Structure 1
Amino acid sequence: MADQLSAKDWVDLGLKILARSGFTALKAEPLAKAMGVSRGSFYWHFADIGAFHAAILDRWREVATEQIIAGVEAAKNQDSGEDPLAVLLRLTFGRKLLLEKAVRSWAANDARARAAVVAMDRRRLDYIEELLKQAGLAEEIARARAQILFWAFFGFALSDQQLSPDRQQDVLDELLRIVAR
């Protein structure tokens, strides 16, 4: 069965385990047991646990940042008429954010994870700022409002408070009104 598994299978399981159980659960033996294979299968795909962790962080970047940006860009390119900032808010605030919390917890304890988080935070901030400039805001204002949006997202992501869909949409509409005018 090990030859049927790909590195992506391991990484996908790793993301699920990370979101559910935290970074300390990202170990070869329990992951192999969960996959129903030997630990050798893990090492067939990854030189060591550090290489696996790097692959997890790369996949997190893809899922939590690059796919969202691609979604916003696709909406812009389709001329859907929807405000790109509204698309961004819908895509980011509408996601399950356990993985975001887990990666940030990991970053508090691990230099490699911290570096990945810092890089993604910069990427996200730069993208938000660019959207705000495209909406007609001056660079300094766009930079400040991008930071506000960024902080609002992380306050939401790290909060355990759940909002009803209607209430969440009201909050997002107000946030969009505040930063885009």
Structure 2
Amino acid sequence: MNMTSNHPEIATRGSIESWLNAAFETLKESGVDAVRVLPLAKKLNLARTSFYWYFEDREALLAALIEQWKNKNTRNLVSQAQAYAASITEAILNVFDCWLNSELFDSQCEFAMRSWALQSEQVAEEIKQADNLRMAALKEMFDRFGFSEDAAATRARSIYLAQIGYISMKTVEPLEYRMRFIPEYLRIFTGEEPAAHELERFYQRNDFVPPGA
């Protein structure tokens, strides 16, 4: 049901987006056990019964959270891997946008989902499927630029597993520090020297000014 923000029922029922956003914030902050109807209603300052206007029960909400995570993180990563690029380094920089732009890929959500998977076989299976889809898209990216089967698979796995390691370790680094290593990552992942104009475009779209620039 689509309701505009000035609809009178918004004040008493909220919107499906407000319930989902509140559930995601709770999932990221406190884990899946904290995602419950009454605390969410209190967080939104809404009646508990308004939840059932949008969801049959808590399980339906949890299912919606899984779908939203898939639609954002997996879809965007795959899209970035498939985006036009004139070179393999430019293609990888398209993917690296995901690691720096939370609108493309929500790392906190990814961590929360992987934590949830430790206690849910269903979510663990969703994670497995997402991992396979993402790594397949990364491999196909290398395939487009003529890498051998094993080289494409190994480099795709290296890119993906390195980032999942960042997420799993909850690594927090200043943007300048992380950007410092981007050219070397590109050399490792491609065996090629990144072009200055490709790095410049990448820096610009991620609001980074290199030291001395």
Query: Which AA in structure 2 matches 1:90?
Result: D
Cα shift at 1:10: 1.4
If the length of structure 1 is used for normalisation, what is the TM-score? 0.86
The one of 129, 133, 144 aligned to 1:119: 129
Measured in 2, the distance between the counterparts of 1:72 and 1:128 equals 6
Query: Which AA in structure 2 matches 1:91?
Result: C
**Greater RCO (Cα-Cα under 8 Å, separation 6 or more):** 1
Size of the aligned set, in residue pairs, is 179
Query: Which AA in structure 1 matches 2:117?
Result: A
Query: Which AA in structure 1 matches 2:132?
Result: R
Cα shift at 1:86: 1.0
Cα shift at 1:4: 5.0
Cα shift at 1:9: 2.3
Task: Tell me if 1:157 matches 2:148.
Answer: no
- More helix as a share of residues: 1
Identity of aligned residues (%): 25
1:127-166 counterparts in 2 under 5 A?
A: 127-166=137-176
Measured in 2, the distance between the counterparts of 1:87 and 1:173 equals 14
**Residue 81 to residue 149, structure 1, CA distance change in 2 (3 Å):** closer
> Which structure: larger Rg?
2
The one of 90, 96, 99 aligned to 2:97: 90
Measured in 1, the distance between the counterparts of 2:19 and 2:121 equals 22
If the length of structure 2 is used for normalisation, what is the TM-score? 0.74
**Residue 71 to residue 9, structure 1, CA distance change in 2 (3 Å):** farther
Cα shift at 1:162: 2.4
Query: Which AA in structure 2 matches 1:84?
Result: A
Measured in 2, the distance between the counterparts of 1:25 and 1:80 equals 45
Residue equivalent to 1:38: 47
Deviations 1:77-127 (A, max 9, x none): 8x7997111110132255462211111100111122212211111111111
Measured in 1, the distance between the counterparts of 2:143 and 2:100 equals 21
Measured in 1, the distance between the counterparts of 2:170 and 2:124 equals 22
Measured in 2, the distance between the counterparts of 1:145 and 1:104 equals 23
Contact 1:68/1:92 (<8 A) preserved: no
Query: Which AA in structure 1 matches 2:64?
Result: A
Task: Tell me if 1:22 matches 2:24.
Answer: no
Contact 1:15/1:60 (<8 A) preserved: no
Residue equivalent to 1:64: 73
Measured in 2, the distance between the counterparts of 1:107 and 1:42 equals 25
